[in-house]
Amino acid sequence: MKVLILALCVTYVASRDTTSLKWNEWKNTHGKSYASHEEMKRQLIWEKNLRVVTQHNYEYDEGLHTYTMAMTKFADLENDEFNTMYLASMPADRKNELVCKKQTIDKFAQNPTTVDWRTQGYVTPVKNQLQCGSCWAFSATGSLEGQHFAKTKKLVSLSEQQLIDCSTKQGDLGCGGGYPDWAFAYINQVGGIESETNYPYEAKNDVCRFNVSEVAATLTGCVDITPDSETQLEKAVGSIGPVSVLIDASHISFQLYGSGIYYEQQCSSSPASLDHGVLAVGYGADNGQEYWMVKNSWGEGWGKLGGYIKMAKNKNNNCGIATQASYPIV
C-alpha cells in the first residue's frame, strides 16, 4: 500500500511539473507576466481552459467536431472576463438603422465556387484592436479598404481610431461598441477617412482630430444585404469584395479557436446576440464542408490561421454571420 501511495504521489508531482512547464512556456510565447497575487489565479484559469481544449481536441480526433481549439493568448481569461474585455455591446438604440440602402445582390447567375480576396490585393494585414470594443470599426475599415482598392488599385490601411473618436453623433460608442453601418454613414457625411498612418490606433476613446485635407478614402453610400440570407451574402462576397459582418463570438470555443471550420451549436443568430464585428473576405470548402473565410481583429497570433477563422457556411446562419452584413459603395 505504501508503495502504491508513493507511486501515486510521484505521478501527481510529475503531472504538476509538466503542467507548470507548459504554463511557463505559454507565458513566454505570449509575453505574459503577472503580479505575484495574480499569478496563481491566472494559472488556475489557464489549467481549466487547458482541460477544455484537451477534451475538445480529443473529441475532434474522434470526428465529433469540425474544428480544433487552442491555448490562445486569451487562455488565462474566464469566458465572461474575455467577453467584457474584447467584445462589444452593440448600441441598443437603432434609430439610425436605415442609413444603408437595402439591395438584392444578383451579380452572378452561378456564384464562384471559391473566393479569397486576400489573393487579389483587397485585404490589409490582420490588425489588433487590443482591449477596446472597437471591432465594428475594424470591420468597417476592412470593407472600405477592399472597395477603395477595387476602384484605385491602391491598398491603404484606414484609421479605426478616427471612427472611434468621431462617429459618436451617428450612434457609435467608441470602445463601447458600434455598427459598421453607422461608420459608413459618418465617413460619407464628413467627406472621408484618414489613413492609419495619419491617424494611428490608440485603443481608447479620444478627441476627434479628423483633418479633411488628409482624407485617404471616401464612399458615396452603403448597402445592407438581405438579413439572414447566406445566399445573398455569398453573392456579395463573391462579386463585390470583403463584407462587414456581425457575429455571436461569446463562446469559449471562439475565444480559444485553433483551426478548422468553426461550428458552434450554442451560437445565436439573433440581432440581439451579435457582439463582434469581423470581415468576410471569401468562402470555400474543405472536404465538402463549406466555410466563410473571416478576418478577425485580435492580431495574427490568435488561433492557428494567422488571425483568421473559417466559419461554417450554409449551416442555418450559424453565429449570425448573415444577420447584419453590409458594405460601402465607393
- Residue ranges covered by each domain of the chain: 1-68, 79-329
**pTM for the whole thing?**
0.91
The confidence score (pLDDT) of residue 301 equals 92
The confidence score (pLDDT) of residue 93 equals 54
- SS3 label, residue 282: strand
The confidence score (pLDDT) of residue 12 equals 44
Tens of pLDDT along 177-236? 999 999 999 999 999 999 999 999 999 999 999 999 999 999 999 999 999 999 999 999
Please confirm, yes or no, whether 296 is among the known catalytic residues: yes
- pLDDT confidence band for 269 (50 / 70 / 90): very high
Going by CATH, does the domain composed of 79-329 fall within 3.40.50.2020? no
Tens of pLDDT along 74-122? 999 999 999 999 997 766 555 445 578 887 777 665 678 899 999 999 9
In this prediction, residues 51-59 reach a mean pLDDT of 98
- Pick the catalytic residue from 49, 79, 188, 296: 296
CA atoms within 13 A on the CB side of 60: 19
DSSP codes of every residue in 173-239 = -GGG---HHHHHHHHHHHT-EEBTTTS---SS-------GGGEEE--SEEEEPPTT-HHHHHHHHHH
- Pick the catalytic residue from 83, 267, 276, 317: 276
In this prediction, residues 116-132 reach a mean pLDDT of 97
- Pick the catalytic residue from 135, 166, 175, 319: 135
Mean residue pLDDT across the chain = 91
What gap in Å lies between CA 143 and CA 152, rounded to an integer?
Answer: 14
On the 0-12 / 13-18 / 19+ scale of CB atoms within 10 A, 116 is: middle
Of 191 and 2, the structure prediction assigns the larger pLDDT to 191
